[in-house]
Amino acid sequence: MSTTHAINVTIEEVIPDKRDKFSFADYIGPIVVFLVFIGFWYLLSSVVLPEQKRFLLPTPHKVIREGFMVWHSGERRGLQPILMSLWDSAKVALLGLGITIVFGMSLAVLMSSSRWLERATWPYLVAVQSAPVLALTPLIRALIDGTQTQRLLVVVLIAIFPIVSNTLFGLLSADKSQHELFTLQGASKWTRLVKLQFPAALPNIFVGLRISAGLAVIGAVVGDFYFRQGGVVGIGAQIDVYRNRLWGPELITAIILASTLGLVVFLFFGWVSRRAIGKWHITTRGH
């Protein structure tokens, strides 16, 4: 018997790697939806709304002309103050998201390692998720000093649930036989976490990240409404001012830009996810 007896793989073949190709069709959908959206907007602002209430929803071209095309006018009007506020809120959202990720994932790791802790914390996480955080604002103001910290707390409260639940679900998703493979080698709890549970959890973690990222933006905007101080204010506070003064084009511009921030964060984490796990993780659509 020779010592080199590599066997040629002939019958079994490697499954071809199907990479999604750039396709124009993939872009038609969003464009069509965008056009329908704009049409609907025109319909609302120039037909459905009674004449005396049309200031509530100016037409798209009016928003572009008076909201986006004006750089700075008066104390608060124009694109420049809106962008400054947006940047202020973005900083809070991102910092808050960072805290949420670190804290939420650590909590999920602890919960995955102890069934007792999982059972003890789960109901309260669900409670935080469904509690009207806004109703707690007086309490938050009384307990915590500094608008910045108060805003961060709102972001964490609003964004934490998806990251904890998805990470936990992912950490517990490894196969029994994969666990047994580690048991057979006498692997420590830490090794198991790092080399088995954490990588197995990555697809779920990224789902949680994308949802939490969107919620962090919402949390930051909402926090702005209630916790503000002089100087540059967050986009939420800015929106509140426009709303009170019935400055339609500025209001819509600010809302669009706040949504865009959420969209950008969402797309960013989708991109990171594809970079990190796209090579081995397959999502299936069923056909």
Query: One-letter amino acid identity for 252?
Result: I
b or e along 136-163 (b: 16 or more beta carbons within 10 Å of the residue's beta carbon)?
ebeebeeeeeebeebbbbbbbbbbbbbb
Q: What are 108's two structure tokens? A: 């999920």
Query: Whole-number minimum distance, CB 208 to another protein, in Å?
Result: 17
Q: How many CB atoms lie within 10 A of CB 89?
A: 29
The residue ranges that bind another protein (CB under 8 A) are 1, 3-9, 11-15, 17, 175, 177-178, 180-187, 191, 195-196, 199-200, 202, 277, 279-282
Nearer to another protein by Cβ, of 274 and 281: the residue is 281
Kindly state the DSSP code that residue 286 receives in the 8-state scheme.
-
- Kindly tell me the burial class for residue 83, based on how many C-beta atoms sit within 10 Å of its own C-beta (0-12, 13-18, 19 or more): middle
Q: Classify residue 99 as exposed, middle or buried by CB count within 10 Å of its CB (0-12, 13-18, 19+).
A: middle
To another protein, the closest distance from the beta carbon of 3 in angstroms equals 7
Q: Which of 208, 217, 207, 225 has its CA nearest to residue 260?
A: 217
d(CA 158, CA 236): 15
- Alpha-carbon distance of 125 to 108, in angstroms, equals 11
In the complex with another protein, the residue whose CB is nearer, 69 or 194, is 194
Q: Are 255 and 111 in contact (CB under 8 A)?
A: no
Nearer of residues 110 and 181 to another protein, judged by Cβ:
181
CB of 77 to another protein, least distance (A): 51
Look at phi and psi of residue 78 and say left if phi exceeds 0, alpha if psi is from -120 to 50, else beta. Answer: left
